[in-house]
């Protein structure tokens, strides 16, 4: 089933895939990484002026990684703002997605956290570095195939 935004994107020749609606009725779309930045700018101009949240997850061990964006159209006098969920999938071997920092500045720490926990590189992000883990940390702790270091062995070695 195609939602309102998906129909608008089709009308304007913008490539995407509709993933249906979530349990709250929010339309969910998949955008390819190479199309994400230009579509993000278009969505901002179209009125999605608020990035509610950004997160990322590991789809399956050895599989794709996903970066998820929850956008809202905030308009004066509108009680129920229009929302959309965008999913951008990236390959595990070299997960690169364009940063939307220059569109929605509020994504700054959120993209950094996704980088820190899952290793997704957000191209053109001005400060893409670890935010939760120490800079010396090896690996991406929220990947399903991550093997945590044995801290007892590390302590015994000191």
Query: Thinking of the domain 2-140, which architecture would CATH place it in?
Result: 2-Layer Sandwich (3.30)
What tokens appear for 25 in the block? 């009725």
Environment class of 155 (CB within 10 Å of its CB; exposed 0-12, middle 13-18, buried 19+): exposed
Residue 5 near residue 29, CB atoms below 8 Å = yes
Residue 44's SS3 state is: helix
Which of 96, 84, 88 shows the shortest CA–CA distance to 3? 84
Ordered per-residue pLDDT tens for the chain, 158 residues: 789 999 999 999 999 999 999 999 999 999 999 999 999 999 999 999 999 999 999 999 899 999 999 999 998 888 889 999 999 999 999 999 999 999 999 999 999 999 999 999 999 999 999 999 999 999 999 999 998 877 665 555 55
Q: Considering only CA atoms, which of 32, 56, 68, 36 is closest in space to residue 140?
A: 56
107 neighbors 101 (Cβ within 8 angstroms): yes
What residues have CB less than 8 Å from 17, skipping those under 6 apart?
29, 30
pTM, rounded to two decimals: 0.91
- Residue of 65, 98, 83 lying closest to 29 (CA atoms): 83
Residue 6: burial class (beta carbons within 10 Å; 0-12, 13-18, 19+): buried
């Amino acid at each position: 089933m195609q939602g309102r935004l998906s129909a608008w994107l089709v009308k304007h020749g913008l490539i995407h895939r509709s993933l249906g609606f979530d349990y709250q009725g929010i339309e969910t779309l998949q955008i390819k990484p190479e199309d994400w930045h230009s579509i993000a700018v278009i969505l901002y101009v179209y009125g999605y002026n608020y990035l509610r949240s950004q997160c990322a997850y590991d789809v399956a061990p050895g599989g794709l990684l996903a970066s998820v964006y929850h956008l809202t159209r905030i308009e004066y006098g509108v009680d129920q703002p229009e929302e959309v969920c965008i999913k951008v999938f990236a390959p595990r071997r070299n997960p690169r997605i364009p940063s939307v920092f220059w569109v929605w500045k509020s994504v700054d720490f959120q993209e950094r956290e996704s980088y820190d926990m899952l290793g997704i590189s957000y191209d053109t992000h001005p400060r893409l570095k670890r935010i939760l883990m120490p800079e010396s940390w090896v690996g991406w702790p929220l990947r399903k195939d991550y093997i945590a270091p044995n801290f007892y062995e590390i302590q015994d070695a000191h």
